[in-house]
Amino acid sequence: MAVYDGYEAVIGLEVHAQLQTASKIFCACRVEYGEPPNVLTCPTCLGLPGALPVLNKKAVDYALRLIMAVGGAVNKRSVFARKNYFYPDLPKGYQISQYERPLGQGGAVEFDLPGGGRGRCGINRVHLEEDAGKSLHPDGGEKYTRIDLNRCGAALVEIVTEPEIASPEEAYGYLQSLKLILQYLRICSGDMEKGHLRCDANVSVRPAGQTAFGTRTEVKNMNSFKAVQRALRFEIQRQIRLLRSGGKVSQATLLWDEKQEVAVEMRGKEESEDYRYFPEPDLVSLNVTDDWINHIRDRLPELPDARTRRLVRQYQIRDYDASVLCADCGLADYFEQVMKTYDDAQVAANWIQTEVLALIGETGVRIGDFCVRPAMLAELLGMVSSGEISGRIGKTVLAEMHRTGRTASAIIKDKGLALISDPARLSQVIDDVLRTHTDSVAAYRGGKLELFGFFVGQVMKATRGQADPVVVNDLLKQKLET
Ligand SMILES: [Zn+2]
């Protein structure tokens, strides 16, 4: 447990993940990001009187996948409940959620600990609910807040942990791991910037060793995992300072202000009774049969840890490389696609981790949208392996492929980049180099053998890196030693 000057922190996280269903949870409206405001709406998600919700089965399938992936238990009968609160972007005045009987309970998520090793955090519950819309507060001095209800009614799962996280760094590790699981299950993009993944944190501190919990606060409005980490650090320190100076922590909801790096009190924290939960009268209870559970269990996708182990086994690559590749489901997919038409796994893994990641990092595209498709990289790597081009030229060709979307062979042919192995042609180049550096040649012959590399460099420069290094070495030795 991380100890802060005699105090320890107790953190619980509530993550809302938007499920990638084609339609919303209780109506047939499409779920899309970036559409004009309020076009993806209907009487049900607008909360018009008389409109009735119909549960989207896919949303249940997805939530079941998650519950099973974390080893939780499925409640065969769960109940939707109304959570009553007024918010401008929630036109019904209540949110349909699950309260007393959530769909899933228990299970755990494992994650990497900051100092090495693995941590584990228990899951308290996983339940389904609908999303609210969005309030837009334009900066331009506008008098109004605009409401966009496109997101209203999108399917969410809420994943609530046990209060078992001891530090902001552990919270970060947990979130990374959970996001990866959601991505591997192909149920949520995990994109925090688009709001597809949102995290609220409950934080309290207590004297180290005390078993009773301190008073907790809830921190909201963190837009990245790093922001969660910073907000938790801030709040833990604030509570410790308060207790030290003889004050008391009061239960409250705080909003994290990323620019100022402070958490500001928004309101006294609601208790569950403030929401006046009651069973949703327009929906029957959700009954999940054994067949349904088995159907989902039999089709559970491979999870990140299992995939990492498999890549090491199947392709004989290093553990570290496998874990880098598997830290992004798309990257691991990319690697496996390359390996369909290329055979040196370690070379492919190296290129993907260095060259490919650098290129997509520069432009901010996702690996899935990277214009150099796996088969194209496989072709390029094949040409490097066979000695048709040098590794160095290969890197320039890859950059050109990324810029133009063309294939390696087209670029190499067009630009005449193939490796020069013809001894007659290289012999001429070498003669020119030796003629222009007579002093160095004399020095080399006088015993300064380390100048050999210099000559190789000059030949490479003269051939724009296209000279076959093996032939160059042989010829240079011959010519310098005669
Ligand atoms: Zn709708």
Domain assignments of the chain as residue spans, ordered by start: 3-294, 302-415, 423-480
The stretch 322-346 carries a mean pLDDT of: 95
Beta bridge partner(s), residue 98: 80
Separation of CA 30 and ligand 1 centre (Å): 8
The Å distance, Cα 188 to ligand 1 centre, comes to 20
- Rounded Cα distance between 87 and 147, Å, is 11
User: pLDDT digits over 182-205, tens only?
Assistant: 999 999 999 888 889 999 999 999
- The rounded percent of the chain whose pLDDT value lies above 70 is 98
* 94-98/73-74 β-pairing: unpaired
Q: 25 C-alpha vs ligand 1 centroid, how far in Å?
A: 9
Q: What is the whole-number distance in angstroms between the Cα of residue 367 and the centre of ligand 1?
A: 32
pLDDT score at 173 = 94
pLDDT value at position 74?
A: 98
Instruction: Read off the pLDDT of each residue in 292-304 and give the average, rounded to a whole number.
Output: 96
DSSP-derived 3-state class of residue 461: helix
Whole-number Cα distances in Å, 191 to 196, 225, 337: 5, 11, 24
pLDDT at residue 1 tops 60: no
Task: Output the six-digit token pair for 100.
Answer: 């007393």
Residue 199's nearest CA partner among 187, 207, 190 is 190
CA of 44 from ligand 1 middle (Å) equals 5
| Closest C-alpha among 206, 237, 207 to residue 219 | 237
The per-residue pLDDT for 48 is: 94
Q: Closest Cα partner for 228 from 252, 201, 188, 246?
A: 201
Q: Tell me the CA–centroid distance for residue 328 and ligand 1, in Å.
A: 33
Topology at the third CATH level for domain 423-480: Arc Repressor Mutant, subunit A (1.10.10)
Q: How far is the CA of 32 from the centre of ligand 1 (A)?
A: 12
142 or 172: which carries more pLDDT confidence? 172
- pLDDT above 60: residue 348: yes
Q: Mean pLDDT across the stretch 282-289?
A: 96
Residues, CB-to-ion distance under 5 Å, ligand 1: 27, 29, 42, 44-45
Which of 171, 221, 217 is closest to 195 using CA atoms? 221
Q: How far is the CA of 40 from the centre of ligand 1 (A)?
A: 7
Query: What is the predicted pLDDT for the residue at 229?
Result: 95
H/E element, 301: none
Query: 28 CA to middle of ligand 1, Å?
Result: 6
51 CA to middle of ligand 1, Å? 10
Contact assessment for residue 75 and residue 100, using Cβ atoms and an 8 Å cutoff: no
Average pLDDT rounded to a whole number, residues 425-454:
91
Bridge partners of 30?
A: 23
Average pLDDT over the chain, rounded to an integer? 92
Task: Write the pLDDT tens digit of every residue in 48-78.
Answer: 999 999 999 999 999 999 999 999 999 999 9
Indicate the length of the chain as a whole number: 482
Q: At what angle do helices 452-462 and 423-436 cross, to 10 degrees?
A: 120
Strand partners, 119: 111
Return the percent helix, strand and coil in the chain, to nearest 5. Answer: 40, 20, 35
When pLDDT is averaged across residues 98-126 and rounded to a whole number, the result is 94
Ligand 1 center to 80 CA (angstroms): 18
Neighbours of 66 (CB within 10 A): 24
* 446/460 Cα distance (integer angstroms): 24
Residue 467: the pLDDT is 87
Compute the distance between CA of residue 131 and CA of residue 89 in angstroms, rounded to an integer.
Answer: 10
pLDDT attached to residue 417: 78
pLDDT at residue 97 is higher than 80: yes
Q: Quick one: which of 89, 95, 93 has its CA closest to 137?
A: 89
φ and ψ at residue 232, rounded to 5 degrees: -65, -40
Mean pLDDT of 212-227: 93
d(CA 331, ligand 1 centre) in Å = 35
Q: Strand 155-161 vs strand 118-130: parallel, antiparallel, or unpaired?
A: antiparallel
Name the pLDDT band for 29 (thresholds 50, 70, 90). very high
DSSP output for 191-212: -TTTTSEEEEEEEEEEETT--S
Check residue 306 and give its pLDDT: 93
Per DSSP, the residues of 82-129 read EEE--BTTBTTSEEEEE-SS-SEE--EEEEE-TTSSEEEEEEEEEEEE
CA 59 / ligand 1 centre spacing (Å)? 15
Please say if the pLDDT value at position 469 is more than 90: no
Burial class (CB in 10 A: 0-12, 13-18, 19+), 260: exposed
Confidence class for position 82, pLDDT limits 50, 70, 90: very high
What does pTM read for this prediction? Answer: 0.82
pLDDT value at 140 more than 80: no
pLDDT band for 21, please (50, 70, 90 cuts).
Answer: very high
Q: Which tens digit of pLDDT belongs to each residue from 256-284?
A: 998 889 998 886 666 667 889 999 999 99
45 alpha carbon to ligand 1 midpoint, in Å? 4
How far apart are the CA of 274 and the centre of ligand 1, in A? 27
Of all helices (H) and strands (E), which one includes residue 265? Answer: strand 262-268
Residue 468 neighbours by CB distance under 10 Å: 20
Q: Is pLDDT of 395 > 90?
A: yes
Q: How far, in Å, from the CA of 116 to the mean position of ligand 1? A: 46
Whole-number Å distance, alpha carbon 153 to ligand 1 midpoint, is 7
Angle between helices 391-404 and 408-415 (to 10 degrees): 110
Distance 46 CA to ligand 1 centre (A): 7
